[in-house]
């Protein structure tokens, strides 16, 4: 079980070609597009595939699973997403580890049609960097959506490309959830009378989200409890004056070790990000490092000792797992109890 359905529908992968190192992909097929009673996807992280292409070693075309409704091949075909198999993806991953993330092309050809390698090489030199564009705008909603309106406690999620698992986690804890566009002003957010505000995950460079950074800065100033997840952690940090930098190849896996600097306990986490916060830039922001990556010592979380705000670089909702840090939602939501 490698979680390819969750990964393919994760908006944080918008604009990217995804390579999976597990050798057999597609063996449990693709579940139905079923949604919960609250209209949140049950098995996916968004309403469709968000990657631009998929690279695997071996594609299983005869899946076996009780929840399977179609093959991975048919799903990609239905959503017009190119894929390629027969690639030594572990060797490719080693190259990415050495050289860093690269721009690439997946060109689809008809059967018996030969690719023009020279033409593709020339085209590869002209690929625009997706991080230079406003990727968040492509995956955020255009107008607010509210889930389960009848509940008393309210959470507002700033949608920078939110995973459905975050919304499910809040609904499971008894909250009415209002999902708002990434460029909503702080005044528009406060008008929803939130007990807490969550800044979601999302794709690309956090510094592009200028309006979101400004809104979060005002929310923190007004003592609204704020939690940032993944890109949201970076936006929270930038709103307080910190700086970000691009990682060589990012953290993208379900087994990243995050070390709690206060307790010394290490948690296994799911991560998907290409940028990180510069630890040196946190001086003077009021934010303190709360988690570090045990492998490369990059910042995995920040917290403000005097304000009800913190962020984590990993995914506590952890779809499809692990669930080691799911308790962080409970820790945060306590701050919004009035």
Active site residues: 230, 315, 317
Measured between alpha carbons, how far is residue 273 from residues 69, 120, 161, 224, 238 in Å?
Answer: 30, 28, 13, 26, 16
At a CB cut-off of 8 Å and minimum separation 6, what does 232 contact? 158, 160, 198, 199, 200, 201, 202, 311
The answer to whether residues 308 and 226 touch, using CB atoms and an 8 Å cutoff, is: yes
**For residues 162 and 157, what is the distance between their CA atoms, to the nearest angstrom?**
8
Measured between alpha carbons, how far is residue 215 from residues 179, 209, 226, 245, 250 in Å?
Answer: 15, 10, 11, 21, 27
Cα 335–chain centre separation? 24
Phi and psi at residue 337, to the nearest 5°: -75, 125
| Residue 336 per-residue DSSP state | G
DSSP 17-44: EEE--SSEE-TT-EE---B-TTS-BSS-
């Amino acid at each position: 079980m490698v979680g390819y359905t969750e990964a393919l529908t994760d908006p944080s992968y918008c604009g990217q070609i995804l390579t999976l190192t597990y050798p057999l992909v597609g063996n449990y097929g693709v579940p139905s597009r079923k949604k919960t009673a609250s209209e949140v996807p049950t098995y996916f992280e968004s309403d469709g595939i968000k990657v631009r292409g998929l690279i695997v070693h071996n594609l299983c075309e005869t899946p076996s699973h009780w929840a399977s409704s179609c093959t991975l091949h048919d799903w990609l075909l239905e959503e017009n997403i190119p894929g390629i198999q027969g690639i030594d993806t572990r060797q490719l991953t080693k190259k990415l580890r050495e050289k860093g993330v690269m721009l690439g092309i997946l060109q689809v050809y008809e059967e018996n049609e030969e690719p023009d390698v020279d033409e593709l090489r020339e085209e590869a030199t002209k690929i625009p960097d997706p991080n230079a564009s406003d990727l968040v705008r492509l995956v955020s909603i255009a107008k607010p959506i509210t889930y389960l309106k009848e509940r008393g406690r309210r959470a507002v999620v700033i949608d920078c490309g939110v995973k459905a698992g975050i919304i499910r986690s809040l609904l499971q804890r008894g909250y009415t959830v209002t999902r708002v566009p990434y460029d909503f002003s702080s005044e528009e957010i406060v008008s929803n009378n939130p007990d807490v505000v969550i800044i979601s995950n999302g794709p690309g460079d956090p510094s592009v989200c200028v309006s979101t950074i400004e809104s979060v800065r005002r929310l923190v100033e007004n003592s609204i409890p704020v939690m940032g997840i993944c890109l949201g952690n970076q936006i929270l940090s930038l709103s307080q004056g910190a700086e970000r930098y691009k990682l060589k190849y990012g953290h993208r896996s379900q087994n990243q070790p995050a070390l709690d600097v206060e307790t010394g306990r290490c948690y296994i986490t799911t991560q998907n990000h290409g940028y990180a916060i510069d630890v040196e830039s946190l001086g003077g922001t009021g934010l303190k490092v709360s988690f570090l990556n045990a492998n490369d010592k990059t910042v995995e979380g920040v917290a403000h000792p005097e304000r009800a705000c913190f962020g984590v670089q990993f995914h506590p909702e952890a779809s499809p797992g692990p669930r080691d840090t799911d308790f962080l939602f409970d820790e945060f939501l306590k701050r919004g109890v009035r």
